[in-house]
């Protein structure tokens, strides 16, 4: 197991250690599963003041929530091993669970871990549920903390970003549309980080208390500060081929659509271009010209501001060898603000407005209300003439940005407490025990500002021409109503109008975790259980654990009723809900042969865990593995792990909620496809005459927005995964100081439940699996029962029609590939003279497969080497980092790091059926990326060290892709026309820090 930093004495004196992935103490650093470790020195060289950056730089890790997300941000930092989702990565602190850190995405939040207190991090990739329980399907990240510190340490660092912003293509895009360019020679995004550590031993040397206080503050970076993100980019066609990018924007700017004759196929689409003065309102046809689009990019945050306070202690006292009492307490208060462009009223929401509203000009009145008389035979469906079922009222959709009111913000605060109390000790005869109780809670507070209330907007659009007052103010329904003037251009909305129409929304809640655990570990040598050909006896560990998790989510009333414009639906409350699980586990390691010719070591191991959930039922997980070291120079290892992930609280108890999804009903727009028509008739229960002709009764979804019902499902059962790994560990005796590993991994997840950010099967996949060309009887048996059609018109967008998209155990995932790691350290005195030593560390991952099967018996798609709307953030087939460090004899270290990501291709250009879409040549490929980082460390004198460095030395700009036409770089993991969780988006990162010890 290369790269693991543990005390040298553990290897030299035979001291036993516990390695992540097993509870059995053992001598040496051996594991049948691959483990990578990162120590404090690497943290200093990377200049990271947050552990999320440290983990995300590993090739095994994929982009997830972090400080570079704004639209859709949770305010947390999460880890996603193997691209299987953060819900399938278990995070531990000293081998014990880190509690869920957010009420919307209940997975561990790395912001709760103080970087300066981390001794090293062990990353085990692959299943480990037999040892640790649920969630360890993709792997385990174990933070081993500093617990026996003595003295005083002050650790501080200042970080700033710098970018030239001199890419001519990026700048020309802004100039071509008249948008401002980003400043050249930009500096910003500063981060200040400081930690105070105090440690004291008891006078008798049997105890220690290590306490800490930390502060970290990061400044925001607007997208307007980088030239690649200063405008929102859109893929544009030439002769029907998408072959270039241009600054675009949202049509939701100052656009009005009259819908009075909607069902007859006619719609009137206008752009309002008043000067801001009363009576200046003037409608012109909406054409999508650049001056009719809103550049929503500049005000979005590319890096959120973040202020974090941490504090806590680690304490223990050995009363006797049989009783070592310990406790831990950790506190985190993290406050961040996500900012995106102005809100307002968004297209797709419908309002009625009196046609004699005095704030409209005559020209606008004519445009919106010339079709407001009720025609003969007028019905909401199938009419052929002018139609308005409410004469005198205009039926409209308004896309009007709140330019006067400013941007939208989401204020996110997470306050977390975690406490552990326990006892461990030596029972003699090679046996030890460890029992502990753990309690943790994360309190969440969110404030949304800058949005408009849809109900107040409806009220403010209906104004009495005689009095100039809102009708609802006159009749007493809402005396506070202020008429809203959005008819005369930007500048016409006054502060009083804004005070009325704007809404401030709140969400509060908490997560809670309780754990009680006890285990025994030792060997059976005293009982005679030892192979006659082995030096070490059989090692075992066994124990039991009880865990309970709870969550509560309380939104304000306006969110509950779905009144906030642009929020995409309701946010429903989740009353205190939870689950508990009781578990028993055991593990055994059997050395079979040791110290014999061609069998220096031959060992096997196995583990088993039984878990009984009060809601999700019972499930078992298990493992077995083997290691064979024929000679000192190399070791072979193999393992199989059956891991599980039980549904979390939201997946079980989130209430059903009707929202919209982007898509279309295949049976309302068959395109004459005979297979689709046949499937609609046989699987959908629809009359033959209705299918080919939408006007015959099956309505297309307006604005390609259909209904779906999302939510939790108490019938969920744990998903299961199988991990297989085979590896080789090289420790050549002829090359002192060199170690290397190569491991093949394969992980298959069955009964896939929605990962965080998803609600169930994608609704478009459900429709395609029921009605599409590739539908099979197996896929139809799962998908078709999830489509509920309105009994009257068979649509899926009217009152009683929808796609049921609640959480389910339907899908499957699979990933496979190879991990490589190598370490080499050489004393230069043996080669060139007394110039210190040279060390190198290499970590790389070759990704062969990242496959998803949404519905059993239906199509699959493979995202290895791809990115895009379906596959999301880039999944390079090859990633590596190589660090070379010179340790001089003059207390000076110099280090260079090379980070590499292979090229990726756009998923919609793929030939895979579930990925294929319009060919987009301009976004078709992101080339390989190479970053180079430099760092130095100087031990000024005993107890004082300085470190500094530059990451992305050559200021390499990130790749840019469409964010508008197809939404390729859509939030939350896409931001600013790129993927900041994958590629460096802030230019050079320059840091300088100091560590002072007393």
Amino acid 69: pLDDT: 86
pLDDT computed for residue 3 by the predictor: 39
**Residue 575 CB neighbours (<10 A):** 10
Average pLDDT value for residue range 276-291:
87
Residue range 281-289: average pLDDT?
88
264 pLDDT tier (thresholds 50, 70, 90): very low
Percent of the chain at pLDDT exceeding 90: 67
Contact 719, 751 (CB under 8 A): yes
The better pLDDT of the pair 463, 348 is held by: 463
pLDDT > 80? residue 692: no
User: Is the sign of the CA dihedral 626, 630, 635, 636 positive or negative?
Assistant: negative
pLDDT tens string 699-733: 777 666 788 888 899 999 999 999 999 999 999 99
Torsional sign, CA 779, 780, 785, 789: positive
Three-state SS string across 43-81, please?
HHHHCCCCHHHHHHCCCCEECCCCCCCCCCCCCCCCCEE
pTM for the model:
0.92
Q: Pick the closest to residue 845 from 82, 255, 310, 170 (CA basis).
A: 82
Please, which pLDDT band fits residue 388 given cuts at 50, 70 and 90?
Answer: low
Cis before 312 (ω within 30): no
Residue 14 has a pLDDT of 47
pLDDT at residue 659, rounded to an integer = 80
pLDDT of residue 396: 87
Average pLDDT over residues 751-778: 77
* Least confident range of 104-118, 255-269, 801-815: 255-269
| pLDDT tens digits for range 9-45 | 333 344 556 778 899 987 555 677 888 999 999 999 9
pLDDT at 690: 55
Q: Is the pLDDT of residue 79 over 80?
A: yes
pLDDT reading at 798 higher than 80: no
Which residues, in sequence order, are CB contacts of 671 under 8 Å at separation 6+?
none
Q: Which two tokens stand for residue 828?
A: 């230069």
DSSP sequence for 86-115: GGGEEEEETTEEPPB--SSS-SB-GGGS-G
Long-range (24+ apart) CB contacts under 8 A made by 784-787 are 784/683, 784/684, 786/761, 787/684
d(CA 703, CA 852): 29
| pLDDT-based confidence at residue 1 (cuts at 50, 70, 90) | very low
Highest mean pLDDT among 522-531, 767-776, 892-901: 892-901
Q: 637 near 650, Cβ under 8 Å?
A: no
- Candidates 373, 405, 406, 376; CA nearest to 390 is 373
| CB-facing half-sphere around the CA of 619: CA atoms within 13 A | 25
Most confident of 284-298, 312-326, 336-350: 312-326
What letter would DSSP give residue 423? E
DSSP letter string over 547-591?
EEEEEEEEE-HHHHTT-BTTS-S----EEEEEEEEEEEEEEEEEE
Q: What is the pLDDT of residue 380?
A: 45
CB neighbours of residue 497 within 10 Å: 18
Tell how far CA 597 is from the center of its chain.
50
Give the lowest-confidence range in 174-188, 358-372, 376-390, 508-522: 376-390
What average pLDDT does the segment 421-438 reach? 96
What mean pLDDT value characterizes the chain? 89
| Largest CA-CA distance found in the chain, in angstroms, rounded | 104
User: Which pLDDT band holds residue 980 (cuts at 50, 70, 90)?
Assistant: very high
Among 235-239, 321-325, 443-447, the minimum mean pLDDT is found in 235-239
pLDDT confidence band for 674 (50 / 70 / 90): confident
pLDDT for position 203 = 94
What is the number of H-type helices and E-type strands within the chain? 14, 49
Say if residue 694's pLDDT is above 60: no
What sections of 809-895 are H helices per DSSP?
Answer: none
User: What is the structure's pLDDT at 260?
Assistant: 65
Judged against a pLDDT cut of 80, whether residue 377 lies above it is answered with no
Mean pLDDT for the stretch of residues 266-292: 83
Lowest mean pLDDT among 74-78, 159-163, 188-192, 208-212: 74-78
Reported as a pLDDT band with limits 50, 70 and 90, residue 178 is confident
pLDDT-derived band at 145, boundaries 50, 70, 90:
very high
pLDDT tens-digit map of 647-661: 999 999 999 888 877
Cβ burial, residue 942 (10 Å; 0-12/13-18/19+): exposed
Please say if the pLDDT value at position 435 is more than 90. yes
Confidence of residue 588 (pLDDT cuts 50, 70, 90): very high
pLDDT category at 685 given cuts 50, 70, 90 is low
Q: Are 51 and 143 in contact (CB under 8 A)?
A: yes
Domains and CATH numbers, the chain: 8-225+302-340+507-647+718-754+809-997 (2.40.170.20), 254-292+343-411+451-503 (no CATH), 651-715+763-804 (no CATH)
Distance CA 584, CA 445 (A): 36
Q: What is the pLDDT of residues 463-489, one digit of tens each?
A: 999 999 999 999 999 999 999 999 999
Question: How far from chain centre, in Å, is Cα 745?
Answer: 23
pLDDT at position 455 over 60: yes
Residue 390 confidence (pLDDT): 67
Percent of residues, the chain, with pLDDT higher than 70: 92
CA 718 → CA 608, 620, 651, 751, distances in Å? 16, 10, 11, 8
pLDDT of residue 529: 93
Residues 6+ apart with CB under 8 A from 707: 658, 659, 660, 796, 797, 798, 801, 802, 803
Residue 266, pLDDT > 60, answer no
pLDDT for res 688: 56
pLDDT surpasses 90 at 413: yes
Which of helix, strand or coil describes residue 770? helix
Distance in Å from the first CA to the final CA of the chain: 34
The predicted pLDDT at position 670 comes to 64
Find residue 91's DSSP bridge partners: 141
């Amino acid at each position: 197991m290369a790269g693991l930093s543990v005390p040298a004495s553990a290897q030299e004196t035979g001291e036993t250690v516990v390695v992540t992935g097993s509870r059995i103490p053992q001598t040496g650093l051996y594991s049948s599963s691959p483990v990578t470790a990162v120590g404090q020195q690497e943290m200093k060289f990377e200049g990271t003041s947050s552990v999320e950056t440290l983990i995300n730089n590993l090739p095994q890790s994929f982009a997830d929530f972090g400080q570079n997300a704004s639209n859709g941000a949770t305010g947390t930092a999460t880890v996603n091993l193997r691209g299987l989702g953060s819900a399938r990565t278990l995070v531990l602190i000293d081998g014990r669970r880190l509690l869920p850190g957010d009420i919307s995405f209940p997975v561990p939040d790395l912001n709760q871990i103080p970087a300066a207190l981390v001794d090293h991090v062990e990353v085990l990739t692959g299943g480990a549920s037999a040892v640790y329980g649920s969630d360890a399907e993709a792997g385990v990240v174990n933070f081993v903390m500093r617990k026996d510190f003595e003295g005083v340490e002050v650790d501080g660092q200042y970080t700033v970003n710098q970018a030239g912003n001199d890419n001519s293509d990026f700048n020309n895009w802004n100039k071509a549309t008249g948008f401002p360019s980003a400043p050249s020679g930009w500096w910003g995004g500063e981060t200040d980080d400081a930690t105070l550590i105090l440690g004291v031993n008891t006078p008798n040397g049997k105890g220690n208390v290590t306490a800490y206080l930390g502060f970290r503050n990061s400044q925001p970076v607007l997208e307007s500060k980088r030239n690649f993100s200063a405008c929102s980019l859109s893929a544009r066609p030439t002769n029907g081929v998408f072959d270039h990018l241009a600054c675009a924007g949202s049509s939701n700017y100052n656009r009005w659509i009259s819908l009075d004759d909607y069902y007859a196929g006619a719609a009137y689409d206008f752009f309002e271009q008043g000067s801001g003065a009363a009576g200046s309102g003037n409608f012109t046809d909406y054409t999508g010209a650049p001056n009719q689009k809103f550049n929503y990019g500049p005000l979005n945050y590319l890096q959120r501001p973040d202020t974090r306070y941490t504090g806590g202690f680690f304490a223990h006292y050995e009363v006797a060898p049989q009783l070592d009492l310990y406790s831990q307490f950790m506190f985190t208060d993290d406050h961040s603000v996500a900012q995106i462009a102005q809100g307002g009223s968004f297209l797709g929401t419908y309002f009625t407005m009196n046609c004699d509203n005095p704030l409209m000009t005559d020209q606008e009145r004519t445009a919106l209300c010339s079709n407001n008389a009720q025609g003969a035979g007028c019905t909401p469906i199938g009419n052929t003439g002018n139609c308005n079922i409410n004469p005198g009222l205009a039926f409209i959709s308004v896309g009007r940005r709140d330019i006067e009111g400013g941007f939208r913000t989401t204020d996110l605060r997470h306050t977390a407490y975690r406490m552990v109390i326990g006892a461990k000790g030596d029972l003699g005869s090679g046996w030890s025990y460890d029992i502990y109780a753990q309690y943790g809670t994360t309190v969440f507070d969110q404030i949304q500002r800058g949005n408009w209330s849809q109900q107040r907007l409806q009220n403010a659009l209906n104004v009495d021409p005689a009095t100039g007052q809102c009708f609802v103010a006159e009749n007493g329904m809402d005396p506070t109503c202020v008429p809203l003037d959005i008819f005369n251009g930007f500048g016409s909305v006054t502060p009083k109008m804004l005070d009325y129409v704007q809404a401030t929304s709140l969400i509060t809640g908490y997560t809670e975790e309780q754990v009680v655990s006890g285990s025994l570990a030792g060997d059976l040598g005293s009982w005679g259980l030892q192979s006659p050909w082995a030096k070490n006896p059989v090692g075992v560990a066994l124990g039991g654990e009880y865990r309970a998790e709870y969550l509560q989510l309380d939104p304000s009333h306006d969110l509950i009723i779905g009144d906030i414009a642009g929020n995409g639906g309701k946010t429903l409350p989740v009353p205190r809900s939870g689950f508990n699980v009781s578990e028993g586990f055991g593990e055994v390691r059997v050395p079979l042969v040791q110290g014999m010719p061609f069998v220096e070591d031959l060992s096997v191991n196995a583990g088993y865990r039984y878990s009984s959930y009060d809601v999700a039922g019972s499930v078992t997980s298990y493992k077995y593995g083997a290691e064979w070291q024929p000679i000192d120079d190399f070791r072979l290892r193999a393992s199989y792990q059956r891991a599980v992930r039980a549904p979390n609280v939201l997946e079980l108890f989130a209430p059903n909620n009707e929202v919209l999804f982007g898509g279309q009903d295949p049976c309302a727009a068959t395109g004459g496809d005979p297979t689709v028509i046949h499937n609609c008739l046989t699987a959908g229960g629809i009359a033959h005459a209705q299918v080919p002709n939408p006007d015959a009764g099956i309505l297309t979804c307006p604005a390609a927005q259909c209904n779906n019902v999302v939510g939790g499902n108490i019938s969920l059962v744990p998903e299961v995964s199988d991990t297989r790994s085979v590896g080789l560990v090289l420790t050549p005796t002829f090359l002192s100081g060199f170690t290397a590993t190569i491991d093949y991994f394969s992980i298959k997840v069955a009964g896939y439940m929605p990962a965080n950010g998803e609600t169930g099967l994608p609704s478009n996949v459900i429709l395609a699996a029921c009605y599409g060309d590739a539908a099979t009887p197996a896929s139809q048996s799962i998908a078709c029962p999830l489509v509920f059609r309105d009994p009257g018109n068979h649509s899926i967008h009217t009152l009683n029609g929808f796609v049921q998209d609640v959480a389910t155990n339907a899908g499957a995932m699979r990933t496979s590939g190879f991990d490589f790691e190598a370490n080499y350290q050489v004393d230069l005195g043996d080669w060139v003279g007394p110039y210190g030593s040279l060390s190198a560390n290499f970590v790389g991952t070759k990704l062969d497969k990242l496959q998803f099967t949404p519905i059993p018996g239906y199509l699959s798609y493979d995202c290895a080497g791809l990115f895009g709307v379906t596959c999301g953030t880039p999944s390079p087939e090859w990633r590596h980092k190589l660090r070379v460090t010179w340790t001089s004899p003059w207390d000076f270290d110099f280090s260079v790091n090379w980070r590499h990501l292979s090229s990726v291709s756009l998923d919609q250009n793929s030939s895979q059926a579930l990925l294929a879409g319009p060919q987009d040549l301009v976004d078709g490929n992101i080339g390989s990326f190479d970053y180079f980082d430099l760092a130095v460390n100087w031990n000024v004198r005993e107890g004082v060290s300085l470190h500094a460095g530059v990451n992305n030395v050559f200021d390499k700009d990130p790749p840019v892709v469409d964010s508008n036409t197809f939404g390729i770089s859509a939030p939350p993991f896409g931001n600013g026309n790129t993927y900041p969780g994958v590629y460096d988006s802030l230019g050079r990162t320059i840091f300088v820090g100091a560590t002072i010890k007393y």
